[in-house]
Amino acid sequence: MRPPGRCDVPSARPALPPLLLLLLSPLLLGAPRGVGAGSSVPAELRVRVRLPDGQVTEESLQADSDADSISLELRKPDGTLISFTADFKKDVKIFRALILGELEKGQSQFQGLCFVTRLHHNEIIPSEAMAKLRQKNPRAVRQAEEVRGLEQLHMDIAVNFSQGGLLSPHLHNVCAEATDAIYTRQEDVQFWMERGVDSSVFEALPKEQMELPRCGQVRDRGKPCACRYSLSLAWYPCMLKYCHSRDRPAPYKCGIRSCRKNYSFDFYVPQRQLCLWDEDP
């Protein structure tokens, strides 16, 4: 796997008025945001969210009901750009991190990482519901109602970028800055292959990866090691809320429940230089 190339850090999208979670009742909604006659433009919302460290950032959420996908993007205070894509059609979710490099340590301007895992449909609200979210309080800072447990994942398989479109059509765009650093898990590979994904999409990582020391224990920056990267989805709509009314015989969708979830990924890197943030023993 080659080190990521040098290029400019993608800029955040221009700021739009922040948004808010809200009412999904069909009686209160017309067409989903951004969708008009003959249009398939993804609907986008922006919400101010409080990060686990207490700082506030703006988060962009997009929903494409035609493609049946959802994406989330936020920039951390240190400049790292985190994105999450849920592809419901392919049962795939993609985490991407664009990490600012330390030029004085010989790194590129930024380093891209992609982690691809199986999507379970109960993890996040459907794309159609996401596209209908409406702003209610534009000044509010959102904090997740529910904190879901840390998920630790051992990423033991590489994804072949040139064949990645067979796994999800979103992979080429999302992971364009991480072509040599796209990781997944053997258990997820087995699930996708049973659904017809070609084995050429996946590549085995070196067998000795299981025996490598953590990068924080390796002094030589040219040596391979086991890297760990952690990220947080600070606020996302994880469940639909249902309301009851005397005027309706059945419960109806009337809002969302928000969640926060932390992830920790362990994966192989061919050089300690590609994991300078991992200083823990």
Sequence ranges of the domains in the chain: 43-274
204 DSSP 8-state letter: E
pLDDT at 207: 77
Looking at mean pLDDT, say which of 8-12, 136-140, 160-164, 272-276 comes out highest. Answer: 160-164
Helix, coil or strand: residue 242: strand
pTM of the model: 0.83
When pLDDT is cut at 50, 70 and 90, the band that residue 174 belongs to is very high
Contacts of 176 (CB under 8 A, 6+ apart): none
Contacts of 125 (CB under 8 A, 6+ apart): 237, 238, 239, 240, 256
Mean pLDDT for 101-118 is 82
Does the pLDDT at position 7 exceed 70?
no
When pLDDT is cut at 50, 70 and 90, the band that residue 245 belongs to is confident
Does the pLDDT at position 24 exceed 70?
no
Percent of the chain at pLDDT > 90 equals 63
When pLDDT is cut at 50, 70 and 90, the band that residue 117 belongs to is very high
More confident residue, 87 or 1: 87
CA distances to 24, 47, 131, 239 from 30, in Å: 10, 21, 11, 22
- Give the CA-trace dihedral at 117, 120, 126, 130, to 10 degrees: -50
